[in-house]
Every structure is written in C-alpha cells, then in structure tokens.
Amino acid sequence: MQLLLALLALAAAGHWASSADLHWCYDIQKIHDSSCLAPEQWEWNCQKKRQSPIDIKTSEAKVNSDLSPFSFSGYDKKGKWSVTNNGHTVMVQLDGQAWIEDGGLDSKYQATQLHLHWSQEPGKGSEHSLDGTFKAMEMHIVHQKKRGTSRSRRALQDTQEDNIAVLAFLVEAGPQNDNFQPLVNALSAISKPKSNTTMAEEVSLFDLLPEKEKLKNYFRYLGSLTTPSCDETVVWTVFQEPIRLHSQQIFAFSEKLFYDDQKKVNMTNNFRPLQLLEGRVVYKSRAPEQLLPLALTTLLAPALTYLTVGSL
C-alpha cells in the first residue's frame, strides 16, 4: 500500500513539476541561463486556450448552488512530511491519507502534494489574482481523482478535464503563523535543487489553512497546470479567505531557497503570468452577503425599536 501511495505522489509531482529535460524556467532564471525556456516560450500544451492562472473578477463570477462546502477527510492527520526543493518550488509530499469530496466535485480526490509560489516583492508572488490584486504567495494542495467514485454519468465520458483538483490559497502578510513554522524551518536544509529533508515537527493540513468555517467561500473554474506541460486537466478552487504569515516567514522562501547548486540565483518570482480567460465562466460558491441600504436601515430603526419596547 505504501508503495502504491508513493507512486501516486510521484506521478502527480511529475505532472506538476515536469522533468529537467524539458528545461523550462521562470523569467528570473532566464537572466542567468539564456538556454532555458521562459514562460512566453513554453510549448507543449501551454499555448492552448484553457490555461491557468487567471485574474478572477469577483463581481462577474456566477453563483453556482452546486458549490457546497467541501468534505475533508484526513486533513486533521498530523505527520512529519518530506519536503523537497525540486528546482522550481518547495514541494511537500503528502502521505495519501487526506481526501476531499463534495464542493461541487464529481468524484473523490486524494491529496498527493502541496507546493507554493512566491516573490520577495510586496504585492507580487501569487499566481491567481482577485480583481487585479496579487498576494505575496499562493499555496496549492494537489489532489488526484480517484477512479470509480464519480456520482454522475460524466465518468463514462472520455475526458480528463477534471483529473486533478487543486485547492489554491492566497497568502498575505500578517501575524506570526506558528503552524507554518515547521515548514519554514525546513527550508534551510533544502537550499539547493533536488535536496530534501523531513519536517522536525508534525503538521496537519488543517494546521496550514484558514478556519474551516471560512472555507465555504471560493471560486471555481476549469484550467490547467501552471507549469509545463500545462495539461488542461485541472478543476481549480481558489479560496476567498487568505492564509496569513509574518513577512519574515514569507521572505524566508526567497532567502533560503535557490534555483542552482552554486546558490547564486535565489528562488523567487516562481509564478506563471496570468492567462486569458478565453470565454470560460468563473463560478462562486455563493453570493456575497448584501447589506441593507443606509436609507432603508434608517427607516427600519424606529420600527425595530417600537417592536422591541412593545415586547418588554
């Protein structure tokens, strides 16, 4: 069973962070290595029309009543996870015991790994943006679809458009986040690419996320992997509530990790530029709560006072 889980994790990692022979890179790496392919040069599936990331215009997202709260299984399980610098990001291999379902998903999905994107510049670093605004980082929890768990006839169709489900969390500066510190502490041991370590302390996925009650509000669209080969196989969930880390915790990723063995090029700005929506529809889990207009509130106040006094 452990071997099977390891193979699943490696398969997902292989999709998300493609092998070195593709020799793709981010713009900041292109400055130091002219032979690598920067984002505008990516080929494979990267030139298709259902690509990620995108800018989410929150007022234009359509409410979808099927986007119910997620059911999380194993997200509370703590573990000392394996952490790797894969040359493009820091990747945490999960143990295969965490799952998600519901949330408008057609099947059950197994968590295989999580990774992050970031910058050392304020207001820059996330891959997705909300109304044109970027955050300092973005964390992706990658899930693989479990065959045979579909609840609709779509499972009979020859399609892979929802083979992977990614939960995306924007990260902004805030107070010290002690739950994230075990991962931050592990960065010093994986400064060079292809190096790995194990967290010194146990952490659960729920430890890293906003409060569960705040995970009901999210956006949904169909897209792609954000690294080559940019396969259009991802159902994206971008949560409205951000994760908050202290600025020093955020900067640690750019300061302690490197793209190269010589430790000359800091690992930062590892995000893909925004892609065109190309006619796709972005959905949201529910309409934002509407406040009563001020004038109506003023009119209702005396009536509410009268009713309250009358009931005494």
Specify whether the CB–CB gap between 110 and 143 falls below 8 A.
Answer: yes
Domain count of the chain? 1
Residue 152 identity: S
How far apart are the C-alpha atoms of 252 and 182, rounded to whole Å?
Answer: 12
**Residue (of 35, 143, 38) closest to 88 by Cα position:** 38
How far apart are the C-alpha atoms of 230 and 279, rounded to whole Å?
Answer: 18
pLDDT of residue 156: 39
How far apart are the C-alpha atoms of 287 and 306, rounded to whole Å?
Answer: 32
Q: For the chain, how big is the Rg over CA atoms in Å?
A: 21
Extended strands (E) in the chain: 55-56, 62-63, 70-73, 82-85, 90-93, 99-102, 109-118, 129-130, 137-145, 164-173, 195-198, 218-223, 234-239, 243-245, 283-284
pLDDT of residue 295: 43
What would the pLDDT profile of 265-301 be if each residue is shown by its tens digit? 999 999 999 999 999 999 999 855 443 444 444 444 4
Catalogue the long-range contacts made by 197-201 (C-beta closer than 8 Å, 24 or more residues apart): 197/82, 197/83, 198/80, 198/81, 198/82, 198/83, 199/80, 199/81, 199/83, 200/80, 201/80
Residues listed for the chain: 312
SS3 at position 254: helix
**Residue (of 285, 163, 286, 149) closest to 235 by Cα position:** 163
Average pLDDT for the chain: 87
Specify whether the CB–CB gap between 231 and 15 falls below 8 A.
Answer: yes
SS3 at position 124: coil
Residue 105 identity: L
- Domain with residue 216: its CATH number is 3.10.200.10
Query: How crowded is residue 36: how many other Cβ atoms within 10 Å of its Cβ?
Result: 15
Q: What DSSP line would sit under 41-90, residue for residue?
A: G--TTTTSSS-S--EE-GGGPEE-TT-PPEEEESTT--B--EEEE-SSSE
Look up 23 and say whether it is catalytic: no
Which tokens belong to 29?
A: 């790496």
Catalytic residue among 15, 23, 32, 88: 88
Ranges in the chain, pLDDT < 70 = 1-22, 149-159, 287-312
Specify whether the CB–CB gap between 271 and 26 falls below 8 A.
Answer: yes
Range of the domain at 171: 2-310
Specify whether the CB–CB gap between 14 and 227 falls below 8 A.
Answer: no
How far apart are the C-alpha atoms of 147 and 163, rounded to whole Å?
Answer: 9
pLDDT of residue 286: 82
**pTM, 2 dp:** 0.85
